[in-house]
Amino acid sequence: MKYGHFDDANREYVITNPKTPYPWINYLGNEDFFSLTSNTGGGYTFYKDAKFRRLTRYRYNNVPIDDGGKYFYIKDEDTIWSPGWKPVKTELDSYECRHGMSYTKFISSKNGVNAEVLQFIPLGFWGEIQKVNLKNTTSTVKTLKLYSFIEWALWNAEDDMTNFQRNFSTGEVEIEDSVIYHKTEFKERRNHYAFFSVNEPINGYDTDRESFIGLYNGFDSPEAVVNGKPSNTTAHGWSPVASHYIEVSLKPGEEKDFIFMLGYVEVDENNKWESKSVINKKPAKEMIAKFNTVEKVQTAFYELQVYWDNLLGKISIQSEDVKLDRMVNIWNQYQCMVTFNMSRSASFFESGIGRGMGFRDSNQDLIGFVHQIPERARERIIDIASTQFEDGSCYHQYQPLTKKGNAVLGGNFNDDPLWLILSTTEYIKETGDFSLLNELVPFDNDMSRAKPHFDHLKASFYHVVNNLGPHQLPLIGRADWNDCLNLNCFSKDPNESFQTTGNKKDGKAESLMIAGLFVVYGKEYIDLCTQIGKDEEAAEAQIHVNNMIAAVKEFGWDGEWFLRAYDYFGKKVGSNQNEEGKIFIESQGWCGMAEIGIEEGLVEKSLNAVDEHLNCDYGIVLNSPAFSKYYIEYGEISTYPAGYKENGGVFCHNNPWIMIAETKIGRGNKAFEYYSKIAPSYLEEISELHKVEPYVYCQMIAGKEAFKPGEAKNSWLSGTASWNFYAITQYILGVKPAYNGLSINPCIPSGWSGFKMSRKFRGATYNIEVLNPNNICKGVKTIFVNGKEIDSNVIPILQPNKEHTIKVIIDK
């Protein structure tokens, strides 16, 4: 069952039934100031960090779900309704929620009144605009009462949910004209406050939640709205809110606009006050003045649309498959921007309180974003590398506000360092900017210990070399990419965290996934060294890569597929000898991408095993058979029910690794089969089962052994976004940046006649047409550049600021 439709021309997903199977959300904001909004008006807003600078409150795991947000109430005589349907849930005469590129529109009507709410964050601005348009479509005068509503958070979202004995006494606000200011804790250690304004005179307000809602009411029937009048309250402690009350009279056919702004302000420590206990409102008033007319708002909205036109214009395709085109051209790239901004910090499944930005996550997210804004990618790489230690290890995550590492989720995940080689080499290939390697980057954010960024890459490479186990395979550490494969934990206490507990301190377990990862990015490291003239370093690194390949062939092959690991006791994990968990996806993907044993047929055999044992209707499951009992020596992976998350679920992040491996052996049909099984636009028809948004990737789809196969969880903030974009554009469509140009090597379904791609690269536009006259999957026979045949499948760097025509013929 569908709950809406794609509007590709406007780059929107249009939700026409508010009762989606789960809240379907969008992200507003592009850099520092962000907002989440659901299709019924739920969500919250924050500056940079959803833990330390959250402006509005949101309750996770609530009943009913998705209660609390940024709401508008319209009272039309005895009828009360909301443009986003919730929280009132009055049946509307019409309803649309249009999620677009960093904006959301609600368009609805009731009893002859049309309401449109446009929500967006202007570029480079620390405030969210909510433009409300009300129109009377009847032949009589309409007298309406409009109420806005947000609920302030107390700045530290974790403290807000725990420290009630303090927080119920600290809430403070100021009201001036049509602006409500939230200044809790401003008088002591904060130099920041928030405000909620409207560009019209108001007829009343409320800032105390109990007075507005009523102690025994819900968001659906606030006392002030039901009674038709505000209380004009000023909050002192308890739970501060912000609600404007406006009386509106509309003649037949008349419409009126109101511009609300939810903003964040920082002031100089020495300039906090206008007068005693009165905050310095000057910067807030300057912000409000920037967008206090409809014309100013429309200009800012247009600028936002142009911004996305430019971003999405850097890579666009034209194929025979509209679902593929909308993923590559619109939604996958859009999600890559969101994951770049958010990592795994703030969604409707991630509270924004715990993780911050992941070292591993952020490096991977960057590969789907680097073509859009390379300068921001460069900055991010430096931020990530700055949390590394001299031995190559690193904090597993860092807080975006401070950019300093933290060990909330533990450390010593031994795959982490290698991802820095991925992000750095992809950035340099995209931009040609080798100067990054000379940038002085601190270790552990200490500039006195700074070294050139290249030294960080070298430390990442040798961290693996210096941490090998009994089979000369990489020690897994606390875990590798699979946080739930905890081979050194041995936890019996339900109050322990699998990610922070290590009861076997000498950690002997080894990872075949890291082995494959090391070969892939070891080769990249060697190539980079060669490019910059470090031939001796390249030669030495090659010895270590060769040794790893030999170790994988000798100790990592199980006869039909690659092992997953060796456990603490030196026993095989992911072997046909095991009772459960005989085969895992990660090592097949990475050893396949590394082409280990490709000449002996090992890669093909392992991928055949993936198809036989792990492939299902909804994607490739992580392991099979799923674990039916708790294996203390394996850790968290065996705690999940069969078919969910890491225990036999379709963990979408790793499916692209198999897609890429399939292209290595030329099987375009199989690669695209896997792609289309998890790409959201192909799943729109089963939205009732799938549950989450049909326009963005999710982390997990329930696997073949689950109670409900095909049901998904944890949408938006997943490495799935960047890896699928990387797999489809660079390996299936086969247009991949290289140090010396743009490599063209498609591996497509044999049924395709070809495709077109426009690719902006190093200042030039490459208009690429791929033709497949004899319906094969792979094999570039001829390439013409501006009408002239070249003898390589790497197109050289072409003249910037011009368009160039590339014709590619696939044939035997």
Q: Find the catalytic residue in 206, 483, 558, 567.
A: 483
User: Tens digit of pLDDT for each residue in 193-208?
Assistant: 999 999 999 999 999 9
* Summary count for the chain: helices (H), strands (E): 20, 45
Positive or negative: CA dihedral 233, 234, 240, 244:
positive
The one-letter code for the residue type at 668 is: G
**Given this model, what pLDDT does residue 665 score?**
98
How many whole angstroms separate alpha carbon 418 and alpha carbon 670? 28
The one-letter code for the residue type at 253 is: G
Residue 483 is among the residues annotated as catalytic for this protein:
yes
The answer to whether the CB of 642 falls within 8 A of the CB of 648 is yes
| Segments of the chain scoring below 70 in pLDDT | none
Q: Which two tokens stand for residue 785?
A: 């550049």
How many whole angstroms separate alpha carbon 699 and alpha carbon 484? 14
Residues pairing with 747 in the sheet: 778
**Pairing between strand 803-810 and 764-771?**
parallel
Positive or negative: CA dihedral 710, 603, 484, 642:
positive
**Given this model, what pLDDT does residue 355 score?**
72
Give this prediction's pTM.
Answer: 0.97
DSSP designation for 367: G
Count of other CB atoms within 10 angstroms of residue 650: 33
**Residues in CB range of 533: below 8 A, 6 or more apart:** none
How many whole angstroms separate alpha carbon 428 and alpha carbon 413? 26
The answer to whether the CB of 255 falls within 8 A of the CB of 133 is yes
How many whole angstroms separate alpha carbon 649 and alpha carbon 623? 8
User: Tens digit of pLDDT for each residue in 573-624?
Assistant: 999 999 999 999 999 999 999 999 999 999 999 999 999 999 999 999 999 9
**Residues in CB range of 810: below 8 A, 6 or more apart:** 746, 748, 754, 770, 771, 772, 773, 774, 776, 778, 779, 780, 781
Question: Phi and psi dihedrals of 644, rounded to 5?
Answer: -120, 145
Q: How many CA atoms lie within 13 A of 671 on its CB side?
A: 33
Most distant CA pair in the chain, distance: 85
The answer to whether the CB of 36 falls within 8 A of the CB of 347 is yes
| Integer CA distances (angstroms), 496 to 489, 500, 709, 806, in order | 10, 8, 30, 57
Q: How many CA atoms lie within 13 A of 442 on its CB side?
A: 12
Length of the chain: 812
The answer to whether the CB of 574 falls within 8 A of the CB of 623 is yes
Count of other CB atoms within 10 angstroms of residue 731: 24
**Given this model, what pLDDT does residue 499 score?**
79
**Given this model, what pLDDT does residue 402 score?**
87
How many whole angstroms separate alpha carbon 488 and alpha carbon 503? 7
Question: Phi and psi dihedrals of 521, rounded to 5?
Answer: -85, -15
**479-508 burial string, b = 16+ CB within 10 Å, else e?**
bbbbbbbbbbbbbeeeeeebbebbeeeebb
**Given this model, what pLDDT does residue 407 score?**
79
Closest CA to 322 of 98, 750, 26, 9: 9
